[in-house]
Structure 1
Amino acid sequence: MHFSLLRALGQRTVVVCLNSKHVVNMPALTTCINKFHTTGMNSDLMEFFDIKKNWNETDIKVGRAWRLDELRIKSNTDLHKLWYILLKERNMLYTMEHECDSKVRLFPNPERIDKVQESMDNIETVVRERNVAYYQLETGETGERPVDNVINVFGLPEKYKRQEYYLPKFMNSRWVRPYLEHGYVGSMAVKKFLRLYKEKKFNEERKARNRDFNHVQQLLKRFPDMDLEKLKAEYPKVDLEKAKRSKKARGHCIPKY
């Protein structure tokens, strides 16, 4: 009995729909609604991979990185959107690079990673410039963390950005004892390291000066009529008068200077 009632109700519903005047417009309206949507395409995990037509390519044409002057004229909303686009692109490139390494294949255009990273660094620079300008206008300060010149464990000067700690400096025994009480910075080991480090730096500078001096001598020997002003601008630390008087610079001919 229940099946007969359901069958009769279904037939009556079909008849009512066929006799309705609005049935003709419903398919067209449904088609228009399906064509219009604002939701982005969701590719799941395939968004971490490049499009399939680039999988077997050896050379992919790409553009250059975003410049600072181009990013300065954009709004904060555009910079925010562009940042996440570049972030997805960087993740995709890292995934493709790892996949190519695992398959022992050549990753096409590896400079794309550098271009994306350069663009992201430029966005951070522009955002930092705007934050500094805003804080200077509102508070008269830059808003950046203050930087101090400190001496590290090896006795070398370095830049240190201040940050908050849950424990004050004078109560931090793990910091006070090594640096203040026992004096690790002024210990004999640190002094010996600084002496050897300065000696190494001095030898590197001396060898660099000798290389430049010998190179200038060879240039004067091969090209006695060269412009000395340009040579001095290229090698400002070289004594040209001493180089001209040397035997290596004169060679087997009488110089004209």
Structure 2
Amino acid sequence: MASIARNICISKTLNNITKLLGNITLQPNVISSSVVICKPRIYCSQHAFLHVTSKQNDLMEFFDHKDNWSEKEVKAGRPWFKSELRLKSNEDLHKLWFVLLKERNMLLTMEHAYNERFANMPSPERRDKVEKSMENLETVVRERNQAYHLLETGETGERPAKYVYNALGMRFFYRMTQHRIPKFMNKKWFKTHHFGFGGYAVRTFLRKYNEKQNNKERTKQRGQERYVLRLMQQFPNMDMDAVKKYWPDVDIEKLRNKEDIRGHFVPQ
């Protein structure tokens, strides 16, 4: 009896399973809806945009463009003026400084390459223009730093310096530096910095040096006087104010009283 009851239960279970399978209908929309598609979300606020840098030429950045190698003259603009640089922001000045620095390194490399080949560099004045621009830029930056420090602290903020004499009695502008140890304990500094002079040999050197400098100044002064005197002989009606502007060290009234001012002429 137990086996018959077990078989009846199994048959009922199979009938229930077949009924459930018969009620199931496969529809495409049901299958597609049950599939979950995961799409990644990109938040623009949390991701940087794509940056593309300029083309890099490795060590060729130290050389001029190949089209200029065979040229005899390369056109270049004028240097930057201080009035123009004062209108720019600190960020623009910072960028311009590195542009000029890169240009100067390139010109120095090209100059060295031309010297090794015993050739003339095209338009060598480009280096002077770049250095003049860098000098003006540095002056403008120093002006801004001084103005800022004067407003905040009452001092210029510049590196302290003073005029001193070296061992030969020559006066020069010495810029002070900071050291980790006190001055009286810094033996290395005392070995490399000798201020002040004295002795018979140094005094003799200074006397001859000053004599040589005075002779140079006297020769320069006489050369200017002779040149102005020759102009006054050739052009007696020229503008004396312009002469004083170009040669301020020349005494015009003294030259007018000289007999050479009348020039050579045949009396009638």
- Residue 56 of structure 2: SS of its match in structure 1? coil
The more displaced of 88-97 and 245-254 is 245-254
Q: Aligned residue for 2:42?
A: none
Q: Aligned residue for 2:18?
A: none
Q: Aligned residue for 1:209?
A: 221
Matched, 1:131 2:145: yes
Q: Distance in 2 between matches of 1:89 and 1:232?
A: 40
- Residue 149 of structure 1: SS of its match in structure 2? strand
Q: Distance in 2 between matches of 1:254 and 1:238?
A: 29
Matched, 1:141 2:186: no
Q: Where does 1:232-247 land on structure 2 (aligned, <5 Å)? A: 232=244, 234-247=246-259
TM-score (norm 1): 0.70
The more displaced of 203-212 and 73-82 is 203-212
The correspondence for 2:82, drawn from 56, 63, 68, is 68
TM-score (norm 2): 0.67
Answer yes or no: is the 8 Å Cα contact 1:178–1:184 preserved in 2. no
Give the aligned residue type for 2:222: N
Give the aligned residue type for 2:223: R
Q: C-alpha deviations, 1:72-118, integer Å up to 9, x for none?
A: 22222222222222222222222223333334443222222222222
Answer yes or no: is the 8 Å Cα contact 2:80–2:133 preserved in 1. yes
Change (3 A) 1:175 1:247: same
Q: Aligned residue for 2:110?
A: 96
Q: Where does 1:92-241 land on structure 2 (aligned, <5 Å)? A: 92-172=106-186, 185-228=197-240, 230-232=242-244, 234-241=246-253
Q: Aligned residue for 1:40?
A: 54
The more displaced of 222-231 and 108-117 is 222-231
- Residue 121 of structure 2: SS of its match in structure 1? coil
Instruction: Give the Å deviation of 1:145.
Output: 1.0
Instruction: Give the Å deviation of 1:242.
Output: 4.3
- Residue 200 of structure 1: SS of its match in structure 2? helix
Q: Distance in 2 between matches of 1:85 and 1:178?
A: 37
Give the aligned residue type for 2:172: E
Q: Distance in 2 between matches of 1:239 and 1:85?
A: 48
Change (3 A) 1:54 1:238: closer
Instruction: Give the Å deviation of 1:195.
Output: 0.7
Q: Distance in 2 between matches of 1:132 and 1:103?
A: 46
Instruction: Give the Å deviation of 1:222.
Output: 3.6
The correspondence for 1:80, drawn from 94, 107, 115, is 94
- Residue 38 of structure 1: SS of its match in structure 2? coil
Unpaired runs of 5+ residues, structure 2, are 1-49
Answer yes or no: is the 8 Å Cα contact 2:166–2:196 preserved in 1. no
Q: C-alpha deviations, 1:177-213, integer Å up to 9, x for none?
A: 9999xx9602111111111111112222222333334
Q: Distance in 1 between matches of 2:264 and 2:79?
A: 53
Q: Distance in 1 between matches of 2:109 and 2:54?
A: 22
- Residue 148 of structure 1: SS of its match in structure 2? strand
- Residue 135 of structure 2: SS of its match in structure 1? helix
- Residue 163 of structure 2: SS of its match in structure 1? strand
Give the aligned residue type for 2:255: A
Answer yes or no: is the 8 Å Cα contact 2:82–2:137 preserved in 1. yes
Q: Distance in 2 between matches of 1:55 and 1:243?
A: 54
Instruction: Give the Å deviation of 1:124.
Output: 1.6
- Residue 154 of structure 2: SS of its match in structure 1? coil
Q: C-alpha deviations, 1:41-70, integer Å up to 9, x for none?
A: 222222222233333222222222222222
- Residue 122 of structure 2: SS of its match in structure 1? coil
Give the aligned residue type for 2:219: K
Unpaired runs of 5+ residues, structure 1, are 1-35
The correspondence for 1:51, drawn from 49, 65, 70, is 65
Q: Distance in 1 between matches of 2:213 and 2:100?
A: 41
Give the fraction of aligned pairs with identical amino acids, expressed as a percent: 50
Give the aligned residue type for 1:122: N
Q: Which of 1 and 2 has greater Rg?
A: 2
